[in-house]
Structure 1
Amino acid sequence: MDHDTRLKRLRFRAWHRGTKEADLMIGGFFDAHGEHLTPAELDWFEALLEQQDVDIMAWAIGSQPCPPEWDGPVMARMRTLTYVPLPR
């Protein structure tokens, strides 16, 4: 699959998680960082999408410890939460 098609598929999966909160966190992250992820980081993100939304969100906000296989530079970027739009 070519790179652009892969990004489109990942963007769709990131934005269609099942809850608005997960969509905003995971989809917002992908919109902000997806095009700048390396192929290895895209592999990591694609595997992350197989995890439960509640787990991904808990690891990103720090309410649960992040397992070592998911803790790394991309999760650190997810933890900034600067990509989640907040209504004003």
Structure 2
Amino acid sequence: MRELDRLFEGWLDAHWRASSAEDRETFQRLLDCEDDRLWRWFLGHETAPDAALQSLVERMRQLDA
């Protein structure tokens, strides 16, 4: 999904270099999720199944704010 690609690229450009190993691992786990699931998380219709994923989703959502 192009919208998700833009969101992920924005986070990579802005935060990857300074991110912790934990955030990098969490980002990698996001990449393994299905697009329809990610879309629901990023739109706020559902929450991610664990706190680390949800925290990263929320921080990524703030990139466009």
In the superposition, the TM-score normalised over structure 2's length comes to 0.73
Q: What is the rounded CA distance, in whole Å, between the counterparts of 1:60 and 1:44 in structure 2? A: 15
1:68 equivalent to 2:50? Answer yes
Higher fraction of helix: 2
Shift of 1:38: 0.5
Once the two structures are aligned, what percentage of the paired residues are identical? 27
Q: What is the rounded CA distance, in whole Å, between the counterparts of 1:63 and 1:53 in structure 2? A: 14
8 Å contact from structure 1 (residues 60, 79) kept in 2: yes
List, as ranges, runs of 4+ consecutive aligned residues in structure 1 with deviation greater than 3 Å.
none
- Letter paired with 2:38: I
Structure 1 gap segments, 5+ residues each: 1-18, 84-88
8 Å contact from structure 2 (residues 47, 54) kept in 1: no
When the two chains are superposed, the root-mean-square deviation of aligned CA atoms in Å is 2.0
Greater Rg over alpha carbons, structure? 1
1:31 equivalent to 2:24? Answer no
Q: Secondary structure at the match of 1:79?
A: helix
Q: 2:25 aligns with which of 43, 50, 53?
A: 43
Any idea what the Cα deviations from partners look like across 1:8-39, whole Å, max 9, x if unmatched?
Answer: xxxxxxxxxxx321211222222222112111
Structure 2 gap segments, 5+ residues each: none
In the superposition, the TM-score normalised over structure 1's length comes to 0.58
Higher relative contact order (CA 8 A, sep 6+): 2
